[in-house]
Structure 1
Amino acid sequence: MREGPVVRIQGDRLMMRRALSNLLSNAIRYTPAGRAVTVSLAANSNDMVIICVKNPGLMINSEHLPRLFDRFYRADPSRQRKGDGAGLGLAIVKSIIDTHGGTITAKNEDGQIVFEIKLPRDRDRATYNS
């Protein structure tokens, strides 16, 4: 069931799917067993679409948060496990979001790590539920 306005962005569907898939895979990987990842979608008054991905788990020191989107960066190298990837997932997400005219940030909030994507809303194709 869906409630509220349908919001659209203009962009490459496959690239956006890859960005969201990478972000969700990362959130799931670092969420403790028995806990859940939360995803929300909203539009603000500045014609931006906001996608929030929240995952509970160990907090990341604030000095590391902006660097999470750097290629090969790991806030805690000891967390890397065999088969965990090359450290490119969040860098790819940022590159795709930047290419679409958006931004992505990470912050610690209420025991969760919150990734917030802001993308320009496609006002020409906006539709609303009745």
Structure 2
Amino acid sequence: MSGTNTHVPAVLAHELPNPVPRDELAACPVNDLFRRIGDKWSMLLVIMLGKRRYRYNELHRSIEGISQRMLTRTLRDLENDGLVRREVFPTVPPSVEYSLTPLGESLLEPLSALAEWAVRNSPVTAAPRP
């Protein structure tokens, strides 16, 4: 943010090269984050796990239309990204619980701001385009 103008959004505070180099765009942490959490299921899982811990089957039953394979893959990706923690309990059979890591919890506030923006602007963004 600019020191003289505090109303400049952070994303506008830095000059972008013209043209933006392809490799720079590919290495951008913002684009990387949106690629990682912008799929069909990731944000939903982060939001659900932000409310409480879930067992795998509980999650599967709670999300209509997600296959076991996709749930496993999405949870594994979120775990690899450091957003979700997988905890195995030594029971017979073993039980597994998923929760957000501190990094995942830190994503909830900006994700909430983005969600509020989407809901507030949905009449405009959902309108047919000319």
* TM-score normalised to structure 1 length: 0.27
Of Structure 1 and Structure 2, which has the larger fraction of its residues in strand?
A: 1
Of Structure 1 and Structure 2, which has the larger fraction of its residues in helix?
A: 2
* TM-score normalised to structure 2 length: 0.27
